[in-house]
Amino acid sequence: MFKRIAILIVLVSLPSFLFSQIKVGDNPSVIDSNSILELESNNKVLVITRLSQVEINALTPLSGALVYNTDTKCIDAYDGVQWKNLCDEPNISVSAVAPTINNIGDFWFNSANNIVSVWNGGQWLPININPRRGNGVPGASIVNPLAGDIYVDQITGALYTYNGSIWLALNQNTNVNNGLSMASNTIQLGGVLINPTVLTTSTINTLAIQGLDVTLLDDSKSIVVMDNASGVLQKVSVTNIVKQEQIVIIANDGQTQFNPPGVITDIDKIDVYRNGARIAFSLIDATTIELEPEAICYQGDEIRIVQIN
């Protein structure tokens, strides 16, 4: 009968025990209403599970799990996806006075001016440090500039960049000339040459112009030539270039007079051939020649007249 009563008491009190708050250590009767577990002591500590990195990597616990990593000597926390070493997380401070004990990468939110800075190992740098700005050209007032820093003159709007030793003004108004032009901030070929210009080529680095129109050579055209001594390009009118013209005529029986391709200005610039053999001739007028008496043609003879202009 006594055993039955004892079992009944345990079963009746079990629900309240399962859902009660637990306080371990000093002042066991004092516990915050929002706590499910509290530890209190002035000479004892909480020691959580201690595992190596290999043992930790083998676990997939609930999010928020904590473990002491015996390899890194730090506490790791599981975020639901991976373990994170809490010692590697940067410290974030919020105060009106700069923190004095810092590690590289720590953040400080200045509650006095709402500026966020990062500790670089020697000083607090505002994360909005670039572009730097001020009234006038940059000078000694810019502390510890780094190569690549940008500075804006708030008076003129001029831009400067730091090259590692001095501040250099950025040319905001780019000018192009000597055969170049610019449209919509794009520099391109096309413009007036204002200086003698040399393009040096080689057997490997050649110069080519592709896509030229195909045309016929006549007196309205010019040809580009190059001076052998200087390499300067020049143009020559086609009218100044020696041209050779020829005409083939099938002769009639007894025919002796023929008309060359063009106006005769120099009889020495005309050659006449009958059936492939060169023959003599005389000048009748500016458009007519006459074969020598011994060269009378027969029906079907081929007369070829070659004229150089």
Backbone angles phi, psi at 132, to 5 degrees: -70, 160
How far is 47 from 67, CA to CA, in rounded Å?
Answer: 10
**HSE toward the beta carbon, residue 193, CA cutoff 13 A:** 5
Nearest to 187 by CA among 198, 178, 196: 178
Cis peptide before 131 (omega within 30 of 0): yes
Per-residue tens of pLDDT for the chain, all 309 residues: 445 545 445 444 545 445 578 888 888 888 888 888 888 889 988 889 999 999 999 999 999 999 999 998 889 899 899 988 887 767 788 999 998 888 788 888 888 877 788 888 888 887 766 678 888 888 877 877 878 888 888 888 888 888 888 888 886 667 889 989 887 768 888 889 999 988 888 989 998 888 888 888 777 888 888 888 888 888 888 777 777 889 999 999 989 999 999 899 888 999 999 999 999 999 999 999 999 988 889 999 999 999 987
**HSE toward the beta carbon, residue 182, CA cutoff 13 A:** 10
How far is 78 from 37, CA to CA, in rounded Å?
Answer: 21
Token pair, residue 177, equals 């000339």
How far is 245 from 21, CA to CA, in rounded Å?
Answer: 119
What is the rounded (10 degree) CA torsion for 70, 73, 76, 82? Answer: -70
Alpha carbon distances (Å) from 274 to 247, 253, 281, 282: 12, 13, 11, 15
Asked whether the beta carbons of 153 and 135 are under 8 A apart, the reply is yes
How far is 85 from 48, CA to CA, in rounded Å?
Answer: 15
